[in-house]
Amino acid sequence: MSSQHRITKAYRTARRIPFNNSSKIVIFSDCHRGDSSFADEFANNRNIYFHALKHYYAEGFTYCELGDGDELWENLTFESIFEAHHNVFELLRLFYAENRLHRLVGNHDMVYKNKKYVEKHLYRYFNKVTGTHDPLFPNIEFPEGLVLQHEETGQELFMIHGHQADWMNYHGWKFNRFMVRALWRQLQIFGIGDPTSPAKNYKELIKVERRTKQWIIDNDTIFTITGHTHRPRFPEPGEIPYFNDGSCVHPRSITGLEIENGAIALIKWHITTTEDGTLQVTRLLLEGPQLLKAYQLKR
């Protein structure tokens, strides 16, 4: 199956939800939440991420996480990740309880395609304080795609992780996972990255972007948002509508996309220093906001 067929399959089987100009949506991906060990790239930014997520929860945003939320290549169990970042999952649980959380599957959490695995590990968790099993994400599903459809204009925003354009990380993910666990995780100590990842292999990154853009062109220029490559992309109106939210494992910052008032923007959250030396988490607008209708085809 070619990358074009894989992306098409994700589009056709995507969960579809309505939105309008009053909707507030934040999009992150590639958090790679780990176990707080030396190999946990998320650990460096967890305070930034938690602060940003608290802001979006308080402001009434819906959170869309486009895959690779949990690092299940380097880590054997979800439980070790949950214990390391319990406060994050408590916040995600609040989003989910209010029907404001949508999570997609990525190559690093491909095991979430297994419904039995998800039911066993994510539906509930063991509360060490009360000694009971409490709800975490009961009945949660991890589709490959998500389509937001505007209630008035009919415009579709198609979201996927992006590994559909990457044969080895889609069909060969079990081999890649083995290599990461057996070799690359240990080599991270010396600063050597995994060459199978497009985020750390520029040639692979370009291939993934080119294949995704070709699919967009071949499929009526569908407005498409991905992650996977960790490289933020924000096109101008008239260009191929290929967006990428970046990742939550940039050095000392996280990037994402916001949709609000019928417009989309690329943002960054990072730590800044005030004049008196106080550290604070700050939101920075990188691109936009640009009206979504500026990317809509005129028929």
Instruction: List Cα–Cα distances, 258 to 196, 235, 266, in angstroms.
Output: 29, 15, 7
Residue numbers of the domain that contains 134: 3-295
User: 6 is written with which tokens?
Assistant: 């894989």
Q: What is the pLDDT of residues 50-92, one digit of tens each?
A: 999 999 999 999 999 999 999 999 898 999 999 999 999 999 9
- What local confidence, expressed as pLDDT, does residue 209 receive? 94
- Concatenating the DSSP letter of every residue in 180-249 gives IIIIIHHHGGGT---TT-TTS-HHHHHHHHHHHHHHHHHTTT-EEEE-SS---B-PPTTS--EEE---S-
Fill in the DSSP letter of residue 298: P
| CATH code, domain with 175 | 3.60.21.10
- What local confidence, expressed as pLDDT, does residue 226 receive? 98
> How many domains, in total, are found in the chain?
1
Q: What is the pLDDT of residues 204-214, one digit of tens each?
A: 889 999 999 99
pTM of the model: 0.91
Is it the case that residue 37 has pLDDT exceeding 50?
Answer: yes
Cα separation, 50 vs 179, in Å, equals: 30
Cα separation, 282 vs 87, in Å, equals: 20
Fill in the DSSP letter of residue 161: -
Fill in the DSSP letter of residue 163: G
Q: What is the pLDDT of residues 135-183, one digit of tens each?
A: 999 999 999 999 999 999 999 999 999 999 987 777 776 767 767 766 6
Residue 10, H or E segment: helix 3-12
Give the model's confidence band at 184: pLDDT under 50 very low, under 70 low, under 90 confident, else very high: low
